Amino acid sequence: MNPALSPELVGEVAIAQGVCARPVIARVTDLESGDVRMVPLSCGSTREDRCPACAERAQRLRMQQCREGWHLDSEPEWELTGEDEGQGDELDEDEGDDDQDCSRRVRSTRRRQDAPELPRVPAEDRTVGRVFTAPDGRTYRPSMFLTLTLGSYGRVTAEGVPVDPGRYDYRRAALDALHFPKLVDRFWQNLRRCAGYQVQYFATIEPQRRLAPHMHAAIRGAIPRALLRQVRAASYHQLWWPPHDQAVYVDRLPVWTERGYTDPITGAVLPTWAEALDVLGEDPDARPAHVVQFGEQDNIQGLLAGTPGAERAIGYLCKYVTKAVGRTYDDGIDISSARAAHIDRLAEKVRWLPCAPTCANWLRYGVQPAAAQAGMVPGHCQHKAHDRDHLGLGGRRVLVSRKWSGKTLAGHKADRAAVVRQALEAAGIDPDDHDELSVVGSDGLWSWELLGRSRVDAPTYAAAIEQVIRTRRRWRAEYETAKAAVAAARAGPCPRHPEGGN
């Protein structure tokens, strides 16, 4: 490869070759000899618009995780480690939800009158589904595939663009997206109380064509469709936050002083987050600032392990986990002006609404954020929910219950690596040479320093990408050779023909 090529051009070759196109460069120094090496490491991005190769590997890993836990017929072995204690139900490590809701105040424990009641049944100590026996004596253990959506905000075209943008409820759409993770949590809590066993799930949160989030979920075990719809209709999340429907400070912003944020004209101190909640709590006629509920549309299927329908569902579950929320489905590089305007309008609403008690946007509505500090500016909260790429979805895109497969995502990754290692060893190929860190070796003392992209000049970065391409080509060829050797060994020697035969 021509060393004069730019990193961009070499990156395009990397994409074509299916290798990491934007590696992270580590400067590794041998502390004994002083030898310095530049070691390229895969970026590990889960977004295909950033690195298609790394995103595809992440997608395959998620599909493996989904498949292994969906139709288990025995309880997964799971040992609680010190790191797991005190965590919630989900074990997923991908893009954790950092919604810092420090307002653990409960306005009321009574259910809403417009929400149906839910049955409570004794829970069996199991996570696997029941076995059913057909009249002919055959047994089967079905599981479920579920899709839940949000309600309508206005009519949309086939492109997902509002027919009448002026009447489309962008504010409610933005609030529903911001608080969708809490609704999903409540759904799983309610389902476990009603299903009679410890329901386990693998779920992905994706946007519909209209950009409203919806949830696809693989559920282990069979649950009556009527019960799933009852739980869906009865699940909601009430937001007991101070009112934030009318902006108080637009042209002039509150000023930071030693007393906290104050009115720019009168100098009066703005109420703190706790004080605003106290006012809300003292008002017997107060209503929640927002209520998020699922819409009436759903898709519920019963599926058996190993069937074409189950495999299609796994592919569908993981199809869009590599996409950004704001650019998904069949969106190409160029989208229509109407769709771009739709995204812009929703992004503008999300930008100014508060995402958490600590959000700087509370200043816009006359309230000091929780843990307020100098330099906070409405419209510039750093939480990713406000990004145009996320459009309110600041939590996890993949949700996996703790007893899904008995393994973390790292454990599934180790399983895949073990398969590769076994094949290489069987073919007499050194598996340690198929590691990104093999260039360093296991002997000696090394000092590692990750270099930001701005600290690596263009020729060095292009050379690093070229090194990744060459290495991955060799690894791929050696692994294909190893797989062929293993397959031949399993097939055994070719049978000998009788003497004189062909």
Q: pLDDT tens across 237-267, in order?
A: 999 999 999 999 999 999 999 999 999 999 9
Give the span between the Cα atoms of 203 and 280, in whole angstroms.
Answer: 35
- The residue with greater pLDDT, 27 or 145, is 145
Count of CB atoms within 10 A of residue 170's CB? 18
Q: What is the DSSP string of 236-276?
A: EEEE-----SS-S-SSS--EEETTEEE-TTT-PBPPPHHHH
So what's the pLDDT on residue 15? Answer: 84
End-to-end Cα distance, the chain: 49
Identify the DSSP state of 391.
T
Greatest alpha-carbon pair distance for the chain in Å reads: 109
So what's the pLDDT on residue 479? Answer: 79
So what's the pLDDT on residue 432? Answer: 62
Q: pLDDT tens across 312-346, in order?
A: 999 999 988 888 877 665 566 678 899 999 999 99
Q: pLDDT tens across 176-191, in order?
A: 999 999 999 999 999 9
Q: Which helix (H) or strand (E) holds 17?
A: helix 7-17
Q: Does the pLDDT value for residue 404 go beyond 50?
A: yes
Give the span between the Cα atoms of 160 and 395, in whole angstroms.
Answer: 23
> In 3-state terms, what secondary structure has residue 357?
coil
Percent of the chain with pLDDT over 70: 85
Give the span between the Cα atoms of 93 and 301, in whole angstroms.
Answer: 28
Report which residue type is found at 9.
Answer: L
Q: Does the pLDDT value for residue 452 go beyond 50?
A: yes
So what's the pLDDT on residue 495? Answer: 57
For residues 451-461, average pLDDT: 85
So what's the pLDDT on residue 86? Answer: 34
So what's the pLDDT on residue 493? Answer: 67
Count of CB atoms within 10 A of residue 502's CB? 4
For residues 354-362, average pLDDT: 97
Q: Can you read off the two tokens belonging to residue 394?
A: 């600041």
- The residue with greater pLDDT, 134 or 232, is 232
Q: Can you read off the two tokens belonging to residue 303?
A: 């599926």
Strand ranges of the sheet holding 446-451, from the earlier edge strand across to the other edge: 36-41, 24-30, 446-451
> In 3-state terms, what secondary structure has residue 134?
coil
- Alpha-helical regions (H) of 71-203: 170-195
So what's the pLDDT on residue 321? Answer: 87
For residues 375-402, average pLDDT: 93
Q: What is the DSSP string of 411-475?
A: HHHHHHHHHHHHHHHHTT--GGGGSGGGGT-SSS-EEEEEEPGGGS-HHHHHHHHHHHHHHHHHH
The closest alpha carbon to 293, from 350, 355, 235, belongs to 235
Identify the DSSP state of 364.
G
- The answer to which of 63-77, 116-130, 268-282, 406-420 has the lowest mean pLDDT is 406-420
When pLDDT is cut at 50, 70 and 90, the band that residue 412 belongs to is: confident
The closest alpha carbon to 59, from 307, 314, 303, belongs to 314
The model's pTM: 0.84
* Residue 239 half-sphere exposure toward CB, CA atoms < 13 A: 24
Q: Can you read off the two tokens belonging to residue 209?
A: 């064509």
Percent of the chain with pLDDT over 90: 52
For residues 227-235, average pLDDT: 95
Q: Can you read off the two tokens belonging to residue 244?
A: 């934030």
Question: Which residue do the tokens 């209709």 mark?
Answer: 233
So what's the pLDDT on residue 83? Answer: 39
- The residue with greater pLDDT, 107 or 222, is 222
Q: Does the pLDDT value for residue 282 go beyond 60?
A: yes
∠ Cα 352 357 360 (to 5°): 40
Query: Helix count (H) and strand count (E) of the chain?
Result: 9, 13
For residues 399-410, average pLDDT: 91
Q: Does the pLDDT value for residue 103 go beyond 60?
A: no
Contacts (Cβ under 8 Å, ≥6 apart) of 52: 15, 18, 21
Give the span between the Cα atoms of 12 and 31, in whole angstroms.
Answer: 36
So what's the pLDDT on residue 116? Answer: 74
- The answer to which of 77-81, 113-117, 209-213, 320-324 has the lowest mean pLDDT is 77-81
Q: pLDDT tens across 425-435, in order?
A: 776 776 666 56
When pLDDT is cut at 50, 70 and 90, the band that residue 501 belongs to is: very low
Q: Which helix (H) or strand (E) holds 317?
A: helix 308-317
When pLDDT is cut at 50, 70 and 90, the band that residue 170 belongs to is: very high
Identify the DSSP state of 285.
T
Report which residue type is found at 282.
Answer: E
Q: Does the pLDDT value for residue 223 go beyond 50?
A: yes
Mean pLDDT (the chain) is 85
Q: Does the pLDDT value for residue 30 go beyond 50?
A: yes
